[in-house]
């Protein structure tokens, strides 16, 4: 996967800043970035024998784990998807400077597409359903893991994911898949999103470093809303 932006150690200024923060930034080419609102239930093992507990968490918790600290009001969870819908990243996106910290990278993305009934031009689509397998990066307080995301995205006439008015972004089968819009209660929750690119649900495992040890957090169920578009990443020339 090629990278449009990449901060590396050989860069005198930016590289030093990235090392100091313990962060490596990267992004996809020919891609679009969507603010992604998350709600997930995690199951964590307690120290006592045969004990565990449940926690309801959101995207800011994922960002905090990846950063190793509490995110600022500008650092939000997002998904990057290329126009071919063949590669995707789950990331921290900083709205103040467009920096991207990769949290998970796709190992495999499989899609099926549906042509808009109202369009007469052959080949144009307006919806796709996808299943994507993500490998969680070892970054911050994350030590790996995996997520499997199933969802749908609205497509423009070029086949690229695009956010449209929420009233237009609907599918009769959403309830069948338990896909639903997630209420934004995170640090940017005051922003009223008018657009949405799609919805999805996911399961997986997060390996989390805490108290000097690594513990598995199970994610039996999570939901994602792919909201407003944050940025379009130009391809490499």
Q: What are phi and psi of 166, to 5 degrees?
A: -55, -35
- Please give the model's pTM, rounded to 2 decimal places: 0.83
Per-10-residue mean pLDDT of the chain, 237 residues long, equals 35 32 48 96 84 93 96 95 94 95 97 72 73 98 98 91 91 89 84 92 96 93 96 60
pLDDT of residue 45: 87
Residues whose CB falls within 8 Å of the CB of residue 110, separated by 6 or more in sequence, listed in order? 130, 131, 132
List the structure tokens of 198.
Answer: 């799609």
Number of residues that make up the chain: 237
Domain ranges of the chain: 29-232
């Amino acid at each position: 996967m090629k990278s449009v932006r990449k901060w590396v150690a050989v860069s005198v200024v930016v590289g030093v800043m990235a090392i100091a923060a313990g962060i490596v930034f990267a992004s996809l080419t020919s891609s679009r970035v969507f603010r992604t609102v998350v709600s997930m239930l995690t199951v964590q093992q307690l120290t006592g024998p045969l004990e565990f507990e449940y926690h309801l968490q959101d995207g800011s918790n994922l960002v905090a784990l990846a950063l190793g600290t509490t995110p600022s009001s500008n650092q939000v969870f997002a998904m990057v998807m290329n126009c071919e819908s063949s590669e995707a990243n789950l990331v921290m996106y900083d709205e103040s400077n467009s920096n991207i910290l990769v949290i998970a990278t796709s190992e495999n993305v499989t899609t099926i597409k549906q042509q808009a009934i109202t369009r007469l031009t052959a080949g144009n689509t307006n919806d796709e359903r996808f299943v994507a397998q993500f490998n969680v990066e070892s970054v911050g307080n994350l030590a790996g893991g995996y997520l499997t995301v199933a969802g749908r995205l609205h497509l423009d006439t070029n086949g690229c994911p695009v956010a449209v008015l929420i009233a237009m972004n609907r599918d009769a089968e959403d309830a069948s898949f338990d896909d639903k819009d997630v209420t934004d209660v995170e640090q940017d929750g005051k922003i009223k999103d008018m657009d949405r690119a799609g919805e999805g649900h996911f399961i997986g495992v997060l390996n989390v470093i805490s108290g000097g040890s690594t513990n598995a957090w199970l994610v039996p169920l999570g939901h994602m809303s792919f909201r407003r578009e944050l940025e379009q990443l130009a391809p490499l020339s």
